[in-house]
Structure 1
Amino acid sequence: MRFGYKFWALCAVSGFCYNFDLYCGKSMQEGLHDNLSLGSSVVLQMLGVVDDPRSHSIYFDNLFPNSDLLMRLREMGFEATGTTRDNHLKRCPLKETALMKMEPRGSYDYRFDINNEILIVRWLDNKCVTIGTNYDSVEPICNVQCWRKVIKGKSNVSQPHVLSTHNNFIGGVHKPDRLVSKYATSVRGKKWYRSLFTRVINMTCKCMDYLQTDP
């Protein structure tokens, strides 16, 4: 990332923030993982506060995961699942996206790396979604309600178990983002760093609220 800053956060499914980092460029801690991508380095850095990896499952979106990260997390004891981009698959022989789009909605293809115990699944919804995991499975297949433009209503679409699990737990980071945006602290001035300062205050207030309502 050449310009701007990123606010990385590690959150529970409830939205409580356990760790965060303001990213403005490569840091000394990131240099400890020079053999990994930026996304992978961020995940490992955020998980540094976790004492017992086997008590937690980690979910992230397609900015972060690749097969190397999933293998590293498995070695550390973390169960991890995340959507991934095609250029992160390292020639995984999944069915091509163009071919899958010709199949019925709900179709899927998968490959399992026996040596590294990594599962990669590609599922067709409105578009193809590719997901990787180091512990979850394809089965049992479940049905989900998806909107269909043709019938102007919802219908049942089959979905692999790994995607269903991921969708149930991925929203932890979005909850505090939504609340911080809705109840933002107002500070006079136009300095660019004021938004960073108020962001930390807002995040702290939301975490205190979570502790009060669900200690």
Structure 2
Amino acid sequence: MVPYYGGHGSKQFIRGKPIRWRYKVWVETTKKGYIEWFEPYQGSTTIISEKYRPLGLGASVVLQFADIIQSQCENAPFHIFCDNFFTSLPLLAELTSRGLKCSGPLRENILPDWPLEKSSLFKKKSRGSFDYLLEENQNNIVCKWNDNSVVTIASNLTSPFPTQQVKRFSQKEKKMIHVEQPCLIKQYNENMGGVDRADQNISLYRVGISGKKWYFCLFSHALDMAEQNAWQLHKHSGGKMDHLRFRRCIAAGFLETYKKETKRGPSKPGKYLHYESRYDRMDHLVNYQEKQTRCAFCHKQAVFRFQKYDVALHPIMCFLSYHTKN
């Protein structure tokens, strides 16, 4: 969700949400929160392929994303998890024909006329009870599971088995009890939530600059999404920086790269000058200079100057120590 309080036809108001006035953006992510695809929602003018219109708005969003991932990796075994706004049996049938797996909760008002017990009656059963039906010729399965409330999930997998025991707190017995859970519910819980995680990461450190144009918040949100994705890749490659420090490193790098030269005279450099760029292990190129200047590490005279951050340094004696954190 992109906060916006100006006037625009695509802006939405939803009462009770943390961000009530906002643009809505359809987003597809990994379970860790890496954003793979997004599309701004534009109401009735949202671009939808004509061949997907009979399936509805929710299904068309998923199928457009499926077109993109299959165009890049045609035979990869993707499994798409979506919430109840997008899930429908026609969507599962279409994805099955493409060789894609899909799972998601199903709304009660769009359940097919199958001999499954209604949720109002099913919730009276013991906790952990479940029932399922398999659609003929389509391999679509609809499973109901009674936890705190009745959960209905649809998938194009073949079975809810094997089941597992999960811990839940019983208000009646005032202790933790073991409840049987189908594997469909387990897979959904483990892989869902990437969009919420990405939204949370972005909301913690948004771009603080505001503009008067209606599109400026979308532009700044795109920067936040790109930065959040970069941080996800940093963590995936073994990086140890948290989100705030990673964002500060990016800001410091931009300030060092595009800083303006001042007309003031020479002054003592700050303690944290080039603090981030010194340790990034990138483009530390050295130039020879005729005039000797003091080395930034040992403070002796040096005839070599590093181009990236414009300091003198001995390339053999002081280079490694200067670029290593204590």
Other-structure match for 1:43: 62
Amino acid in structure 2 at the alignment position of 1:6: K
Q: CA deviation at 1:138?
A: 1.1
| CA deviation profile, 1:27-52 (whole Å, cap 9, x unmatched) | 34343312111100010112222123
What stretches of structure 2 of length at least 5 have no aligned partner? Answer: 1-9, 13-22, 238-326
Q: Do structure 1's residue 144 and structure 2's residue 156 form an aligned pair?
A: no
Assess if the C-alpha contact under 8 Å between 1:57 and 1:80 holds in 2. yes
Assess if the C-alpha contact under 8 Å between 2:129 and 2:180 holds in 1. yes
- The residue correspondences of 1:11-160 to structure 2 (distance < 5 A) are 11-25=29-43, 26-50=45-69, 51-52=73-74, 54-160=76-182
1:189–1:151 CA distance, 2 compared to 1 (3 A): farther
Amino acid in structure 2 at the alignment position of 1:45: Q
Assess if the C-alpha contact under 8 Å between 1:83 and 1:130 holds in 2. yes
Counterpart CA distance in 2 for 1:198 and 1:127 is 40
Calculate the TM-score normalised by the size of structure 2. 0.61
- The residue correspondences of 1:189-208 to structure 2 (distance < 5 A) are 189=211, 193-208=215-230
Assess if the C-alpha contact under 8 Å between 1:105 and 1:157 holds in 2. yes
Amino acid in structure 1 at the alignment position of 2:171: K
| CA deviation profile, 1:14-71 (whole Å, cap 9, x unmatched) | 2111111111123343433121111000101122221235421111111101100000
Counterpart CA distance in 2 for 1:92 and 1:193 is 47
2:168 is paired with a residue whose SS is strand
Assess if the C-alpha contact under 8 Å between 1:53 and 1:78 holds in 2. no
Which range moves more in the overlay, 116-125 or 47-56? Answer: 47-56
Q: CA deviation at 1:75?
A: 0.5
Other-structure match for 1:7: 25
1:163 is paired with a residue whose SS is helix
What stretches of structure 1 of length at least 5 have no aligned partner? Answer: none
Identity within the alignment, %: 31
Q: CA deviation at 1:162?
A: 0.6
1:148–1:196 CA distance, 2 compared to 1 (3 A): farther
